Amino acid sequence: MNYPKVASQLIKMLGGKDNIKALAHCATRLRLAINDESLINEKGIDDLEGVKGQFKVAGQYQIIFGSGIVNQVYTQMTKLTGIDEMSTKEVASAGAEKQNIIQQAVKGLSDIFVPIIPAIVAGGLLMGIFNLLVAPGLFIDGQSLVEANPGLADLAAMINTFANAPFVYLPILIAFSASKKFGGNPYLGAALGMLMVHPDLLNGWGFGGAAVAGDIPVWNILGFEIQKVGYQGSVLPVLVAAFILAKVENGLRKFIPSVLDNLLTPLLALFITGVLTFTIVGPFTRDLGFLLGDGLSWLYDSAGFIGGAVFGFIYAPFVITGMHHSFIAIEIQLLADIAVTGGTFIFPIAAMSNIAQGGAALAVGFTTKDIKMKGIAMPSGVTALLGITEPALFGVNLKLRYPFIAAICAAAAASAFITLFNVKASALGAAGLPGIISIRQGDVTPYVIGMAISFASAFVLTIILGKRADAKNKKQAKVMQQATA
* Rounded Cα distance, 202 and 218, in Å: 10
- Give me the residues paired with residue 38 across strands: none
* Rounded Cα distance, 180 and 410, in Å: 40
Closest Cα to residue 352, out of 426, 427, 446, 441?
Answer: 446
**Contact yes or no for 159/176 (Cβ under 8 A):** no
* Rounded Cα distance, 248 and 235, in Å: 20
**Contact yes or no for 221/192 (Cβ under 8 A):** no
Query: Taking the mean position of all CA atoms in its chain, how far away is CA 100?
Result: 20
State the distance between the two ends of the chain, measured CA to CA, in whole angstroms.
39
What's 85's DSSP letter?
A: P
* Rounded Cα distance, 43 and 400, in Å: 13
* Rounded Cα distance, 141 and 479, in Å: 66
Task: Encode the chain (485 residues) as per-residue pLDDT tens digits.
Answer: 888 898 899 989 988 888 888 888 887 888 888 888 888 888 888 888 888 878 776 677 888 888 788 888 888 888 888 877 766 566 666 555 556 665 666 566 667 776 776 777 677 667 767 877 876 656 666 677 888 888 888 998 998 888 888 878 888 998 999 999 888 999 999 999 999 989 888 877 666 566 656 778 888 888 888 888 888 767 778 889 999 999 999 999 888 888 888 889 999 999 999 999 999 988 888 777 667 656 666 767 777 788 889 888 988 887 765 556 557 667 777 777 777 778 888 899 999 999 999 999 999 999 988 887 888 888 888 888 887 776 787 778 887 888 999 999 999 999 999 999 989 888 777 788 878 878 887 888 999 999 999 999 999 999 999 888 777 766 665 654 554 44
pTM for the structure as a whole? 0.59
Active-site annotation, residues: 26
Alpha helices in 253-370 (DSSP H): 258-276, 282-321, 327-336, 338-341, 346-367
CA distances from 20 to 25, 61, 75, 92, 426 (A): 14, 10, 15, 13, 45
State the amino acid at position 321 in one-letter form: T
Length of the chain: 485
